[in-house]
């Protein structure tokens, strides 16, 4: 799909843009690009009155995203309100055992875009779960990222992060709308209302 063909979406899901993954020595290689694209998507979603959901992963004890640690913190500022929420999760799928489904339904969201990290894990799992629930999903190619996949002796050499991200897109199948540039994704306000601010 080309940028010119994108229809507006009603929600932005920002997946795990937490300090451990996008800052410091352990950031994903394309962290600067993902942050730039995510800031742009976030600003335009807010301006349009779209629903914004920041997914925040609660890692296990001793992990870089263990709750309460610096790495767990969301890297971008949140503006809490009826149209902007933080949803904490413990699984790759942002819908699993979280209020995300209800937030989207209450707001009347049927079309959304997904960005963030990691491409083949939480981004892909959340996008797939949204597709399974009947949502239209737009995935901007330049707004998600991951790490290199380490070499596995007897199996493969190191898989570069860009190839892993592209494979994650491909594995989502024909239903997802993969578009080249986040800057071309338009937003519109959803029809419903969300009664409880986060």
Give the catalytic positions in this structure: 122
In sequence order, what are the beta bridge partners of 87? 55
The rounded distance, in Å, linking the Cα atoms of 14 and 23 is 16
Name 15's bridge partners: 55, 116
Strands 11-15 and 84-89: unpaired
CB 12 within 8 A of CB 144: no
**In this structure, is the dihedral angle defined by the CA atoms of residues 131, 187, 13 and 190, taken in order, positive or negative?**
negative
């Amino acid at each position: 799909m080309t940028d010119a063909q994108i229809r507006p979406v009603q929600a932005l899901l920002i997946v795990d843009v937490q300090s451990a993954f996008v800052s410091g020595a352990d950031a994903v290689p394309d962290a600067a690009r993902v942050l730039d694209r995510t800031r742009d998507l976030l600003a335009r979603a807010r301006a349009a009155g779209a629903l914004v959901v920041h997914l925040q992963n609660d890692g296990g004890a001793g992990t870089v995203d263990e709750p309460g640690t610096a790495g767990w913190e969301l890297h971008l500022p949140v503006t809490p309100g009826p149209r902007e929420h933080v949803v904490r999760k413990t699984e790759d799928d942002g819908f699993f055992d979280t209020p995300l489904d209800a937030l989207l339904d209450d707001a009347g969201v049927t079309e959304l875009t997904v960005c963030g990290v990691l491409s083949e894990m939480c981004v892909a799992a959340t996008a797939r779960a949204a597709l399974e629930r009947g949502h239209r999903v737009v995935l901007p190619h330049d707004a998600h990222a991951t790490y290199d996949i380490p070499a596995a002796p007897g199996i493969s050499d190191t898989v570069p992060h860009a190839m892993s991200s592209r494979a994650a897109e491909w594995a989502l199948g024909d239903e997802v709308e993969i578009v080249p540039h986040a800057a071309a994704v338009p937003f519109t306000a959803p029809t419903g209302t969300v009664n409880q601010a986060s």
